[in-house]
Amino acid sequence: MTKPAAPVSATPPEGASAWVTIDLDAISDNVRELARRSPGAEVMAVVKADAYGHGLVPSARAAVAGGATWLAVAQLREALQLRAAGVSTPLLTWLYVPGVDFGAAIDADIDISVSAPWALDAVVSAARERGRTARIHVKVDTGLARNGALGQGWTDLVAALGPVVAEGAVEVIGVWSHFALADAPQHPTVLAQRERFVEAAAELRRAGIRPPLKHLANSAATLTNPDAHFDVVRPGLAVYGLSPVPDLGAPHDFGLREAMRVTARLALVKQAPAGQGVSYGHVYTTPHDTVLGLVPVGYADGIPRHAGNVGPVRVGDRRLTVAGRVCMDQFVLDLGAEYAGGAGDEVVILGRGVDDEPTAQDWASAIDTINYEIVTRMSDRLPRVFVGGDA
Ligand SMILES: *Cc1c(COP(=O)(O)O)cnc(C)c1O
């Protein structure tokens, strides 16, 4: 069902020390798979945070090519970038503070999430100024206690909607919410949040407001909880081929495949004696005469500093571990006394889980974080190379 991975280190930028390869076909195929798993629901692909580090515009286009009929980003700035690039797919944005330029959102046909009366007032003012109707999705806090209107706040927001909907200043396109423990599909909070969501939508209906779309499911709920699919599913992580529930399954168990690969080239290879302390702080010492390799990426590129002595990489057909501390621009590998290669050899930092290449999940497990953080932290100092799609 999924195509074999595209060739990856095919076209690194000339002389690049390290680069990130993005398989756009993987993104399209992942969206197709997510759509297949949520029949009856549209797919809103979440492309916030530079598409989780995969490159905003190419990733968004690949998601649309795979069947996403909606896109979503946290920040208005990201939404405007998509519009400026000519992406015209319906698009939702939700995180802002007072002073945000809702007029720009309305002008660019960007749907705005509203969680509070102040935001509704600001959207309404911007819409009136333009003589236009703003498209909004009202967000109910069903128990995450993050964004969204909670308890009486929801009742107040619903009450405030009536007149401005009647006036034509806003059109309520969606009602939506977000889970706290979607990765534990049987958890009582998941049931409770779903129930509260249905109730909140009914409260809207009783006020005469009938948004065509209800959406609740992130990646984990899309993959594990059909009861939460409603009209639109809203996956992010899974679009990029990563598992939001690593304890329940690896990406391929869900028909997904990783879109990101991170590769570097050794900058230096040299002999070192036994007992040599390596990198800042000498927290690694060579156990015997060996060959050290210098990898020209560091925490400024997004390699976690916490990965010192634990981060997994692959060189040739061997798994190795970062030797000593990760520095700002570089880290060191103990390649072993028999190493016959030299400067320029490739090091796979993040692979696709095939051929025992380290995955984002392996990095996450090594430093006690989540795969989300591993991919999103890859900085734009690493050039993106796009393969597949119409790249
Ligand atoms: C990031 C985010 C998503 C996507 O979550 P994943 O776990 O990556 O699928 C969906 N909805 C909201 C509100 C988000 O912030």
User: What is the phi/psi pair of residue 102, to 5°?
Assistant: -65, -25
Domain for residue 9, yes or no?
no
Domain for residue 377, yes or no?
yes
User: Ligand 1: distance of its center to the CA of 146 in Å?
Assistant: 12
Q: Which residues contact 269 (CB under 8 A, 6 or more apart)?
A: 291, 292, 293, 294, 335, 339, 341, 342, 343, 345
Domain for residue 193, yes or no?
yes
Q: Which atom of ligand 1 is nearest to the CA of 238?
A: 9
Domain for residue 289, yes or no?
yes
Task: Give pLDDT, residue 7.
Answer: 42
Domain for residue 111, yes or no?
yes
Q: Which of 48, 96, 214, 284 is catalytic?
A: 48
Pocket test for ligand 1, best of 218, 248, 376 (most atoms within 8 A of CB): 218
User: Ligand 1: distance of its center to the CA of 275 in Å?
Assistant: 47
Q: Which residues contact 14 (CB under 8 A, 6 or more apart)?
A: none
Domain for residue 269, yes or no?
yes
| Single-letter amino acid, residue 27 | I
- Tell me if 324 sits within 8 A of 278, measured CB to CB: yes
Q: Which atom of ligand 1 is nearest to the CA of 176?
A: 13
Domain for residue 252, yes or no?
no
User: Ligand 1: distance of its center to the CA of 343 in Å?
Assistant: 41
CA distances from residue 349 to 10, 120, 308 in whole angstroms, order as listed: 16, 45, 13
Same domain, 65 and 155: yes
Same domain, 175 and 278: no
Same domain, 293 and 365: yes
Q: Which atom of ligand 1 is nearest to the CA of 218?
A: 9
pTM for the model stands at 0.96
User: Ligand 1: distance of its center to the CA of 123 in Å?
Assistant: 23
Q: Residue written as tokens 């030797």?
A: 323
Same domain, 324 and 364: yes
Q: Please identify, among 239, 274, 300, the residue that sits at the C-terminal boundary of a domain.
A: 239
User: Ligand 1: distance of its center to the CA of 353 in Å?
Assistant: 24
Domain for residue 17, yes or no?
no
Same domain, 232 and 284: no
Other Cβ atoms within 10 Å of 53 Cβ, number: 26
48 counts as catalytic = yes
Domain count, the chain: 2
Same domain, 232 and 267: no
Same domain, 60 and 189: yes
Q: Please identify, among 184, 205, 239, the residue that sits at the C-terminal boundary of a domain.
A: 239
Q: Which of 3, 270, 280, 284 is catalytic?
A: 280
Residues framing ligand 1 (Cβ under 6 A): 46, 48, 178, 218-219, 234-237, 244
Q: How far apart are CA 293 and CA 387, in angstroms?
A: 28
Same domain, 216 and 96: yes
Strands 318-323, 331-334: parallel, antiparallel or unpaired by DSSP? antiparallel
Same domain, 332 and 369: yes
Q: How far apart are the first and last CA of the chain?
A: 22
Q: Residue written as tokens 């405007």?
A: 80
Report the C-alpha dihedral over residues 83, 84, 87, 93, rounded to 10 degrees. -30
Domain CATH code at residue 211: 3.20.20.10
DSSP string, 36-87: HTSTTSEEEEE-HHHHHHT-HHHHHHHHHHTT--EEEESSHHHHHHHHHTT-
Pocket test for ligand 1, best of 178, 230, 374 (most atoms within 8 A of CB): 178
Q: What is the pLDDT along the chain (391 residues), one digit of tens a residue?
A: 333 444 444 578 888 999 999 999 999 999 999 999 999 999 999 999 999 999 999 999 999 999 999 999 999 999 999 999 999 999 999 999 999 999 999 999 999 999 999 999 999 999 999 999 999 999 999 999 999 999 999 999 999 999 999 999 999 999 999 999 999 999 999 999 999 999 999 999 999 999 999 999 999 999 999 999 999 999 999 999 999 999 999 999 999 999 999 999 999 999 999 999 999 999 999 999 999 999 999 999 999 999 999 999 999 999 999 999 999 999 999 999 999 999 999 999 999 878 889 999 999 999 999 999 999 999 999 999 999 997 5
Q: Please identify, among 239, 268, 297, the residue that sits at the C-terminal boundary of a domain.
A: 239
Same domain, 301 and 198: no
Same domain, 67 and 205: yes
E strands present in 88-240: 91-93, 111-114, 134-139, 170-176, 213-217, 232-233
Same domain, 366 and 320: yes
Domain CATH code at residue 321: 2.40.37.10
Domain that holds residue 359: 260-387
In terms of Cβ atoms closer than 10 Å to its own Cβ (0-12, 13-18, 19+), residue 203 is middle
